[in-house]
Each structure stands twice: as C-alpha cells, then as structure tokens.
Structure 1
Amino acid sequence: MSKVEHEHFGTPTETRVFPNGKAEILEMAGGTIGRLTLEPGWRWSNDVKPIAGTDSCEAPHFQYHVSGKLAIRMDDGQEILAGPGDVTSLPQGHDAWVVGDEPVVTVDWYGASNYAKTSE
C-alpha cells in the first residue's frame, strides 16, 4: 500500500521567481504539482521566454484556474481566455498573458517540473 502524503503550497519544495510571477513547486507521490501566480502585466514571451530560451512555451499544461483571467494563444493561432473555475489542457507551443488587473493563479498538474527553468 502507498503511503499518505500531505503537502502545502505555503511550504513548497521549490519556488521559482521570474519577472511578474512565481512558480511554487510541490514534489509528491512521484510527481510535480505547481501553483503559478502571475501578476498583472505578466506575459510568457516577455517574462519567461528569456529563461526558457525557446520561441514559445514548450511546457504542456493541465491546469485548474483559481483566479484572474489568462489569455492563451497557441502557435497555430487558436486563442482562448481562461478564468476562475476553468480547466485547460495545453500542448506545447503557446504564449500567454494576464488580462486585467487581477493576478492569475493556476494549479498545474502537468508541465510544472521544468517551468521557468533555464533550458539545457
């Protein structure tokens, strides 16, 4: 039988700070879960692209949107606007930005392991 694990984003395994945001990372149950907090004015292509070193976000995401509004544009031109209560599954190859003056908070079950880390 597997052991019980209990973690809290208040004491993450790792915190990655980048311009206009942060990623709080929990390592548990053999996986990685991230809570992304993105401040008004945040845009992936301005604030994370220099860290990632890729033309667009190459991290696929499976996210629950807790607060704020996040616009997402896929490399093929498809656009969505995600808000509180939405769940998004995004393949790699996108840009995103905060819409409005409320911070965006998402919980990401897939893609957080390498998010906002320098590409090697």
Structure 2
Amino acid sequence: MSDKHNIATPHERRPFQAHGHMDVVTLGDFTLGRGVFEPGWRWSNDVKPIAGTESCQTHHTGICLEGQMTVRFDDGTELDVGPGDVVDLSPGHDAWTVGDTACVFVDTGVKGYAKPA
C-alpha cells in the first residue's frame, strides 16, 4: 500500500516550551518530522521539561535545510550542523540554535521526540 501526506499540514504539531515546534507526519510505521528551532532554542531549556530526561535520548537521522545548530554530546564532544548536512546523532546530547536564523531540520528519529514522558 502506498500513502502520502504533505508536511505543510502535519498530523501533529509538537510545540517546544518556547522557540519553535516539530511538525510530524506518520505513514504506517514511518514517522518524519520537520523541526523549526527558532533563535534562542536550546534542548535543555525547550525540550528537557517535556522529555523529563537529563539529555536528549532520541537517535536523530536527518538533514539540516537552513540555519545552524550545535550539538554537544554527553562526553563533551561537539558537532556543528548547517544547511545540507546529513547527520546520524546518537542519543545523549544537548543542542542549541546558533545565530539569529531559525534552524530547520528534517528528522526521521522523532516518533517520541518532544512528547511528554
């Protein structure tokens, strides 16, 4: 069976505490999200209160469409992500938007992301 749904009218919008949201489309077992991480967004401030974990425990796989984000893993290493970068991010990290432009990121690892624990 084939199916489609446009991300412009997502099945679900998950607002962050402030500074953005995640639009989510689910087709069968496949879930895709488009995150809009506004300037000032930081996982530890905007999603941690929702997730209830010390660091982000989601395995993200996706592509940055615009803007910039820095990801700091629990071991202290950092990764800068910008437009066109395709990433595979292990669980156990914090992240924040860099600069005054929203970071827009398409992510396949969002089935449980930014949902209350």
**Which TM bucket (shorter chain)?**
over 0.9
Give the match for residue 21 of structure 1.
20
Offset from partner CA, 1:50-99 (integer Å, 9 cap, x none) = 11110000111001100000000000111011000001111110000000
Give the match for residue 38 of structure 1.
37
Q: Name segments (4+ residues, structure 1) moved above 3 Å.
A: none
Give 2:44's aligned amino acid. S
TM-score by length of 2: 0.96
Pairing 1:1-120 to 2, within 5 Å after superposition: 3-18=1-16, 19-110=18-109, 112-119=110-117
CA distance in 2, matches of 1:6, 1:31: 11
CA distance in 1, matches of 2:30, 2:85: 22
- Local SS of the residue matching 1:50: helix
- Local SS of the residue matching 1:32: strand
Give 1:27's aligned amino acid. T
- Local SS of the residue matching 1:102: coil
Offset from partner CA, 1:18-71 (integer Å, 9 cap, x none) = 111101000014211111000000000011111111000011100110000000
TM-score by length of 1: 0.93
Structure 1 unaligned blocks of 5 or more: none
Structure 2 unaligned blocks of 5 or more: none
**TM superposition shift of 1:114:** 0.7
Say how many residue pairs are matched.
116
CA distance in 2, matches of 1:102, 1:63: 19
